[in-house]
Structure 1
Amino acid sequence: MKTRRRGRSGARSRRALVLVLAIGGLLSGCGSAPVRTEHPPAEEEPFWQAEFDGAAATRPSEEAWTAETGNRDAEGWGNNELQYYTDDAANSALDGAGHLVISARPAPDGSELPCYTQEFCTWTSARLTTAGKVALTHGRVEVRAKLPTGTGLLPAIWMLGDNGVEWPGQGEIDICEVVGGEPRTVYGTAHGPTYFNENGIGDSTTLAADASEAFHTYAVDKRPRRITWSVDGEPYLTLTPSKLPAPRDWVFEQDMHLLLNVAVGGDWPGPPDTSTPDPATMTVDYVRFFGEGRA
């Protein structure tokens, strides 16, 4: 089965979603308990972690990571995206200073990389996944990263379910997305069988500065029948089955693997232009899984 993102209807739908959730919170009553996130105890060790130590220009460990490739055969990754994902070090490699760097950059002249929405892809990038290698069942995933911002960009840190069902029944948790011209807005969203694309359940939070200017810790606490999103330890969304539309098909009690990618163009961020950074880089300091899972 080929896992991929489906189309998004755009930032307007996401803003409407935030409003719906806010109204829902008000209707639930003033006496509701504040949203809380469960940080791992200081003494708790992650059951799996990627610290990205190694020489510059080397690829991340194949024991944990797979670089998915292509565009046309993946139908533009479901969003009519313009980047061709490669397994080249130019698009994903260690920097020699303890970081993984995922770089979106214009495709080399004459590369003729087959694209879904046009003859050839005009950008290259990377999409790394731990599918079949590392997964979280229940616990917390933390990713400390600096995300690229700019017109036409959509960097994402997210998870997909390992239940073998075709998307959206597979289940998806978007730990964070930063879209195009909204450089200080972080979106967190869940998608499932009856709530996906513009009907995904989510919310957003605002950073003090552009996401590309500093590292932040993007995290999800994935507990039995409860998921909480946070940035730098500050929670901004909690999802439980009661917040899902009927029939409340909660699909998150399963192993879920992690994905890191920088998409370019497509349905949500729109096309890049001359102001789009070249290269546009996601710099990942670490990935850590706490709790229980597979490694």
Structure 2
Amino acid sequence: MIKKMLYILNIGLGLLLSCSGGNDDISPPDPPNEIIPKNLTLTVEVQGADANNPNGDGSGIVSITVNAENANSYGFKIESESEVKNATGSFQYTFSNPGTNEYVITAFAHSSTGHEVSTFKKVSVFVAFNNLQLVWSDDFDTDGTPDTSKWGYDIGNGCPDICGWGNGEKQYYTNRSDNVKVENGLLKIIAKKEDYQGSGYTSARLLTKDKYEFTYGRVDVRAKLPSGQGTWPAIWMLGANIDEVGWPECGEIDIMEHWGHNPTVISSATHTLSCSGGCGNVKVGETVVTDYATQFHVYSLVWNEDELQFLIDDELKYSYNPATKNVTTWPYNKPQFLILNVALGGSWFEIDPNFTEVVMEIDYVKVYQ
């Protein structure tokens, strides 16, 4: 009897051990499959963008659509800003920096397993200067002589102080109607070949010195430029303290310059104590404009306490924003006045021997603050 019971216990124990050992053979559950989004698309629509306003209507609003297969959420970010997420992939964003600026928009698609893919797109957006008010302007609506309450003139060839106006220019500036007049809603600055006061050419240079001087704001000048070897039209500014401190300490802002020997290239520049005409590395922005002589364009400056932005037809082309701002790099915290002129010739280029006459036409000059 006792042997029988021991036999049964041994059998039971063996079965128990056998069952216990069998648990070691159970495999763990399979890990979840990785779900990776694919075929990611990013669409950006700038509100009001059309053929006439390629960068939008000035509201700064853009609609962003992100889509991908195998995604359960989406996100986007502007430049280095934080990512914004939702489950639909539809977003709206409003830019606020005035002017036309280019931004990088990055889009993300996320899956339920924590995987993501991304893409990016560059977009230019125009934001209107809605907070600025028109404070000074001339629309040149009255034919005849330019408004003497707004414009004065530089007369002569620069002698004896700076003969050739410091650049080897060949023209003699006058205020005659032969060289400057308002006609059919346009200011016309006429440069011509003629013997006058010992010079072989004449032209005009208008300026608002002692009549209108300002600090900060936006300047818009709508103009059609002359063409031809030797022509040098300019829309620019000088510090109102030039008689006290001289040039370039007063600071010069060249909103638009064009040289006929370098056709289609429009230049913008700054001249300061740290870098002026003779330093060899003038801060210059150059833009190709092929129809400068056949179409009007708006040449603009946006000037604040931190930066100078140069625009053509509301598109940012160049900016000046030195990391260190002091008397040598940033004289642009004091009043400046406006200058409009057409020069002829220079110390580094010649005038076409067949030159006779050219005209720069200006539709308006506006200052906003």
TM-score by length of 1: 0.77
Distance in 2 separating the partners of 1:178 and 1:262: 10
Maintained 8 Å contact 2:201/2:344? yes
Query: Structure 2: which amino acid aligns with 1:128?
Result: L
Query: Structure 1: which amino acid aligns with 2:297?
Result: H
Shift of 1:247: 8.1
Distance in 1 separating the partners of 2:331 and 2:132: 27
Distance in 2 separating the partners of 1:81 and 1:236: 28
Residue 271 of structure 1 corresponds to 350
Q: Does 1:104 align with 2:186?
A: no
Shift of 1:238: 1.2
Distance in 1 separating the partners of 2:210 and 2:327: 30
Maintained 8 Å contact 1:69/1:86? yes
C-alpha spacing 1:199/1:39, structure 2 compared with 1 (3 Å)? farther
Structure 2 alignment gaps of length 5 or more = 1-78, 82-100, 104-124
Distance in 2 separating the partners of 1:133 and 1:38: 31
Distance in 1 separating the partners of 2:259 and 2:179: 20
Q: Does 1:201 align with 2:287?
A: no
Q: Does 1:144 align with 2:144?
A: no
* Count of residue pairs the alignment pairs up: 245
Distance in 1 separating the partners of 2:313 and 2:347: 29
Residue 169 of structure 2 corresponds to 81
C-alpha spacing 1:65/1:288, structure 2 compared with 1 (3 Å)? same
Q: Which structure is larger by alpha-carbon Rg, 1 or 2? A: 2
Q: Does 1:68 align with 2:148?
A: no
Query: Structure 2: which amino acid aligns with 1:166?
Result: G
Cα deviation, 1:18-48, whole Å, max 9, x if unaligned, reads xxxxxxxxxxxx979848886422x854100
| Structure with greater strand share of residues | 2
Cα deviation, 1:53-91, whole Å, max 9, x if unaligned, reads 112xx2101111011111133411000110000110110
Residue 8 of structure 1 corresponds to none
Query: Structure 2: which amino acid aligns with 1:273?
Result: D
Residue 49 of structure 1 corresponds to 137
Matches within 5 A, 1:224-243: 224-242=305-323
Distance in 1 separating the partners of 2:272 and 2:306: 14
Q: Does 1:40 align with 2:129?
A: yes
Query: Structure 1: which amino acid aligns with 2:281?
Result: N
Distance in 1 separating the partners of 2:362 and 2:257: 14
C-alpha spacing 1:233/1:264, structure 2 compared with 1 (3 Å)? same
Shift of 1:52: 0.5
Residue 125 of structure 1 corresponds to 203
Query: Structure 2: which amino acid aligns with 1:105?
Result: K
Maintained 8 Å contact 1:151/1:275? no
Shift of 1:134: 0.9
Structure 1 alignment gaps of length 5 or more = 1-29, 114-119
C-alpha spacing 1:156/1:150, structure 2 compared with 1 (3 Å)? same
Q: Does 1:179 align with 2:259?
A: yes
Matches within 5 A, 1:19-34: 34=102
Residue 18 of structure 1 corresponds to none
Q: Does 1:135 align with 2:217?
A: no
Maintained 8 Å contact 2:249/2:328? no
**Alpha-carbon RMSD:** 2.3
Residue 238 of structure 2 corresponds to 160
Which secondary structure state, in structure 1, belongs to the residue aligned with residue 165 of structure 2?
helix
Maintained 8 Å contact 2:228/2:352? no
Shift of 1:222: 0.4
Shift of 1:196: 0.3
Residue 27 of structure 1 corresponds to none
Higher relative contact order (CA 8 A, sep 6+): 1
Cα deviation, 1:95-141, whole Å, max 9, x if unaligned, reads 1x111000000124xx3x2xxxxxx3110000100011112311100
Distance in 2 separating the partners of 1:45 and 1:242: 29
Maintained 8 Å contact 1:37/1:235? no
Residue 251 of structure 1 corresponds to 331
Query: Structure 2: which amino acid aligns with 1:86?
Result: T
Distance in 2 separating the partners of 1:233 and 1:249: 26
Maintained 8 Å contact 1:192/1:200? no
Calculate percent identity across the aligned residue pairs.
34
Shift of 1:274: 3.4
Q: Does 1:59 align with 2:139?
A: no
Distance in 1 separating the partners of 2:265 and 2:80: 28
Which secondary structure state, in structure 1, belongs to the residue aligned with residue 309 of structure 2?
strand
Maintained 8 Å contact 2:149/2:211? yes
Maintained 8 Å contact 1:136/1:289? no
